[in-house]
Amino acid sequence: MQQRIDKLGVVIALTLAGAAFLPLATYRANRIAGGEGKSIAEALPAWAAVALALVLVAAALVALIRSSTGLRLGTSLAGIAALALAVGFSAIYLTPEGDRYARVAPGSGFWLALFGLAIMAADAMVRLRLGPTARIAGVLLFFGALGLLLVSGVWDGLSILKEYSGRADVFWREAGTHMTLAVGSLAAAVAVGLPLGIAADRVDRLRAPVLNVLNIVQTIPSIALFGILIAPLGWLAANVPGAAAIGIRGIGIAPAFVALFLYSLLPMVANTVVGLRGVAREAVEAARGMGMTNAQRLFKVELPLAAPLILTGIRIVLVQNIGLATIAALIGGGGFGVFVFQGIGQTATDLILLGAVPTVLLAFAAAVVLDAVVELTAKGAP
């Protein structure tokens, strides 16, 4: 009997069992009032509560007992879908008709059950050993399903979407700012860090000073670095003709962009150096024996072989920058952090989530897609 019990499944089953005793949703009379937890039975009509309970029980049993990987993946995804629909229905069920002030948000039971089902799905996908193309397709399907759920209107009653409905224009403007900061600083870091990494690999005396300086920059807390940059950028704006016209200021997007760029340099330079130094000397000598010049060896042999590690550096930088760009709002840099810090100031949890959830989803998607690209590059390397 013990051989039929899955060890991870025990943890998942206990997680789902615990979630059943916690609130599925939280009801508040308005956006800043204290919340009242509602159990599955209280948050849903009887038929929906029974259906969700049966889905969670089935998922717990499938997780607990050793079963086929396909069954575990299908059950976990079905459970996530049922949970997503249930929390949307709970907002409709709990909100009094015509009440524009009431707020319904996912409760602790929802988040705990989602965590358990996500672990179950992730474990199944690891066991399936999905290839890079399948993982990218999975991300696209996830965001497609999320988009359909949002378009369907099932979640319109949830408090986070009520916060969004009043700020839709601002949301997309700040989303553009957030991506500009994250991707723009990455592009600048690649343009500077790649040549710097090549130089550090070629010149031994340059390597240690460059990496040490970048290590020091990396240890400075993000808020402190933003603050340090205010004075020099403010001086440039006041004293260099045309600097203010192109957006250089002591506060705003400029110091945030520069800080993210500086944080991005260490992973780019370090991974470039490690990648180039990891290229087999035999391959370099063979290229030299074929009569290739230094530039030809670099671009046709060394960089292609080092590409997986360089791309890993790019993945690290992008995921890091998507998260750090949230802090830019503290110095007027914009981005999703605007909603996070407004929510903290107003004690409005749902407004915080409006900024935090897209940040997490973007970082997740970037990590999965770039991991797959790294694997495809490694397979295609000469």
Res. 84 pLDDT band, cuts 50 70 90: very high
Residues 6+ apart with CB under 8 A from 8: 63, 119, 123
pLDDT in tens, 218-246: 888 877 887 787 777 777 777 777 666 66
In this prediction, residues 149-162 reach a mean pLDDT of 89
**Rounded mean pLDDT of 104-127?**
92
User: Does the structure show a pLDDT above 60 at 381?
Assistant: no
How far apart, in Å, are the Cα atoms of 312 and each of 214, 274, 324, 381? Answer: 18, 11, 18, 14
* DSSP-assigned letters across all residues of 344-371: HHHT-HHHHHHHHHHHHHHHHHHHHHHH
What is the average per-residue pLDDT within 141-149? 91
CA distance 214 to 265: 7
Q: How many CB atoms lie within 10 A of CB 126?
A: 10
User: What distances in angstroms separate CA 22 from CA 108, 124, 181, one per listed residue?
Assistant: 6, 26, 39
Pick from 272-276, 284-288, 301-305, 365-369: least confident: 284-288
Q: Where do the DSSP E strands lie in the chain?
A: 25-28, 36-38, 103-106
Strand order in the sheet with 25-28: 36-38, 25-28, 103-106
279-286 mean pLDDT? 81
Model confidence band, residue 118 (pLDDT cutoffs 50, 70, 90)? very high
Helix 168-202 and helix 349-380: axis angle, to 10°?
40
Mean pLDDT across the chain? 87
pLDDT reported for residue 1:
45
% of the chain with per-residue pLDDT over 70: 96
Q: What is the mean pLDDT of residues 180-190?
A: 92
Mean pLDDT of 85-105: 88
Average pLDDT of span 344-349: 82
How far apart (Å, rounded) are the C-alpha atoms in residues 136 and 295? 34
* pLDDT value, residue 87: 93
For the chain, what's the residue count? 382
Q: What is the pLDDT of residues 6-56, one digit of tens each?
A: 888 899 999 999 998 999 999 988 877 778 889 999 999 999 999 999 999
- Domains in the chain with CATH codes: 2-159 (no CATH), 168-380 (1.10.3720.10)
DSSP 66-128: ---HHHHHHHHHHHHHHHHHHHHHHHHHHSPTT-SS-EEEE-HHHHHHHHHHHHHHHHHHHHH
Residues 268-294, mean pLDDT to the nearest whole number: 85
